[in-house]
Chain A
Amino acid sequence: EAQVTQNPRYLITVTGKKLTVTCSQNMNHEYMSWYRQDPGLGLRQIYYSMNVEVTDKGDVPEGYKVSRKEKRNFPLILESPSPNQTSLYFCASSFRRSAGQNNSPLHFGNGTRLTVT
């Protein structure tokens, strides 16, 4: 089954304790991205990746890191989490953004609810 898999689904941690949220897709998508969802703000892009070893900042990258060493995986790293990073996180992927393919829909993972105390 074609899917984007995020883990964990729920995570509670304390300020400053490094954590990683994993994301994996099995659709051979080149494009992957991370979003955070907050009430009244919708979803906002954190980072994205056009291909292996190519990553770039989205709209709200502060406090986050990503890596893209393999095509299928795109982990989100919080080196020193803070309470303002408490949010619902989504990983998403699609075929590359090249001409004619940018209307290919984003496939979303099931979300990770992160609470930082």
Chain B
Amino acid sequence: AQTVTQSQPEMSVQEAETVTLSCTYDTSESDYYLFWYKQPPSRQMILVIRQEAYKQQNATENRFSVNFQKAAKSFSLKISDSQLGDAAMYFCAYRSAHGSSNTGKLIFGQGTTLQVKP
């Protein structure tokens, strides 16, 4: 079974600085998708960025980028020029791409709470 681990329960960053949130996962599959979701105090789940495992190029969305290391099964999120609005809980998630294990399920990590200091 696949698992996702976020080893940092809490992180803090100074406004305008850069922060990296860690995520590791375990799978025997070769084809899958990885996601980062943001959950602000409003509880809404907001997709930040996604990565297809077959793509070597790291995904980027404005100030958000990932460092995808397939061999190491690592998928970290880098937030550049941090803003107060970035304060939230961030979840890393895994989704199988195909095959008998493909139930469409997202497997989530435990979450990392990010505090942004002004």
* A interface list, Cβ under 8 A from B: 31, 33, 35, 40-45, 48, 50, 56, 58-59, 88, 90, 92, 94, 97, 99, 102-103, 105-106, 108, 110-111, 113
Please report which residues of chain B, range 60-99, place their CB below 8 angstroms from some CB of chain A when the two chains form the complex: 91, 93, 95-98
Given known A42-B91, A42-B109, contact A33–B104 (CB-CB < 8 A): yes
Bound together, the chains give a CA A31 to CA B33 distance in angstroms of: 17
Taking CB atoms, residues of chain A closer than 8 Å to B91 are 42-43
* B interface list, Cβ under 8 A from A: 4, 6, 9, 33, 35, 42-45, 47, 50, 52, 91, 93, 95-98, 102-106, 108-111
- Nearest CB to that of B47 among chain A residues? A105
Say whether A48 contacts B103, CB under 8 Å: yes
Partner of A97, one of B4, B45, B102: B102
Say whether A42 contacts B97, CB under 8 Å: no
Say whether A105 contacts B35, CB under 8 Å: yes
Known: A92-B45, A102-B96. 9 other contacts (CB 8 A): A33-B104, A42-B111, A43-B108, A45-B103, A48-B103, A102-B102, A103-B50, A106-B106, A110-B43
Instruction: Give the number of residue pairs across the A-B interface with Cβ within 8 Å.
Output: 66
Given known A42-B110, A102-B95, A102-B96, contact A58–B105 (CB-CB < 8 A): yes
Partner of B110, one of A41, A106, A113: A41
Give 11 A-B contacts (CB < 8 Å), ordered by A residue: A41-B110, A42-B108, A44-B108, A45-B103, A48-B103, A58-B103, A94-B104, A102-B95, A102-B97, A106-B45, A108-B45
B29 CB, min distance to chain A CBs, angstroms: 12
A97 CB, min distance to chain B CBs, angstroms: 4
Say whether B106 contacts A45, CB under 8 Å: yes
A59 CB, min distance to chain B CBs, angstroms: 8
